[in-house]
Chains A and B, each alone.
Chain A
Amino acid sequence: MTQARISEFVVGLLFGIGLIVSGMTDPGKVLGFLDLAGLWDPSLAFVMGGAVMIGLVAFTVAKKRSATLLGGVLQLPKSTVIDKRLVIGSLLFGAGWGLAGFCPGPALVSLAMGQSKALLFVAAMLAGMKIFTALERRNAKA
């Protein structure tokens, strides 16, 4: 259990540092990538490329294993459905991403850097997640 906790913390650290090094914590850089018609900054393609290069190897190994290196359950996603929820949710997310240049991970890192706009963004994002939970509960009852 302790080993798992240490690993989770280290993963969070590496992930956060990776976001800073890559430039993802700068909304101006993110929007520079999303602005194909303006001055285009292709950097984010390199972020994704680097991450997926390692990820491809890791998940190829993971798919062949039945347990984690700590002997725990390897929880690979089972859902394969491509439905309205997936597409509409992704459309909303992409629109929000394009408006501010923040996605969830970088927003958390910027918040810890003391950016007041990141605090505002994270507060709104958590509210959005709460709204989602509330709507799901209401629909489940109906």
Chain B
Amino acid sequence: MTIDWEHFTPWASLAGGLLLGVAAAIFILVNGRILGVSGIVGGLLPPAKGDWAWRLTFVAGVLAAPLLYQLVATPAAVRIDAEPVMIVVAGLLVGIGTRYGSGCTSGHGICGLSRLSPRSMVATVTFMAAGFVTVFVVRHLLA
């Protein structure tokens, strides 16, 4: 195993992670809800009576985040290498998969692991493993 020291950002990633934890903490303790992005967004398709406003306010906050961030700092450059066709296939898989499996990196990953939920641990190990295998196939077997 070779570490990518050029891109490795332990402190920024830890700091960002702590912020994600604080967000999840406020959401459960103040709003009584699990911070799971796929579930929150999925519940808006279609919106159900009496169960959409909180979802929309949360999503509005997420969308406003980069605008606020850009006022004080310049976001680091990003690398989006996947071709458009691959992006569409990936989006469809993520959309169907997160709804079918009831969660993504935030709901099962952050909140589920924090709750020590065996169900979320199985989900997290499964999607991480699928991610590792997919990248291995795409980068090392097909390339």
Contact = CB atoms under 8 A, between A and B. Distances in A.
Interface of A: 4-5, 7-29, 31-32, 34-44, 46-59, 61-63, 65, 67-70, 72-77, 79-82, 85-105, 107-113, 115, 117-118, 120-133
Given A26-B78, A112-B66, 19 more contacts: A4-B54, A7-B27, A12-B63, A13-B65, A16-B63, A22-B20, A46-B13, A52-B114, A55-B111, A56-B116, A68-B29, A85-B100, A88-B101, A97-B105, A104-B37, A105-B106, A120-B88, A129-B99, A132-B99
A93 B16 contact: no
A137 to B, nearest CB: 11
Q: Which has the most chain A C-beta neighbours within 10 Å: B41, B66, B91, B96?
A: B91
Contacts of A19: 16, 20, 65
A124 B18 CA distance: 30
Contacts of A89: 96-102, 123
A58 B82 CA distance: 37
The A contact surface, by secondary structure, is: helix
Contacts of B49: none
A74 B38 CA distance: 20
Interface of B is mostly: helix
A22 B16 contact: yes
B98 to A, nearest CB: 5
A70 B86 contact: no
B95 A38 contact: no
B50 interface: no
Contact of B87 (A34, A41, A120): A120
Given A10-B26, A48-B110, A54-B18, A101 B61 contact: no
Contacts of A53: 17-18, 21
B32 A73 contact: yes
B8 A41 contact: yes
A126 B69 CA distance: 25
Contacts of A79: 102, 119
Interface in B1-56: 1-4, 7-10, 12-35, 37-38, 41-42, 45-46, 53-54
B61 A132 contact: no
Given A87-B122, A109-B62, A58 B21 contact: yes
6 contacts: A23-B9, A49-B17, A100-B80, A112-B64, A122-B91, A133-B45
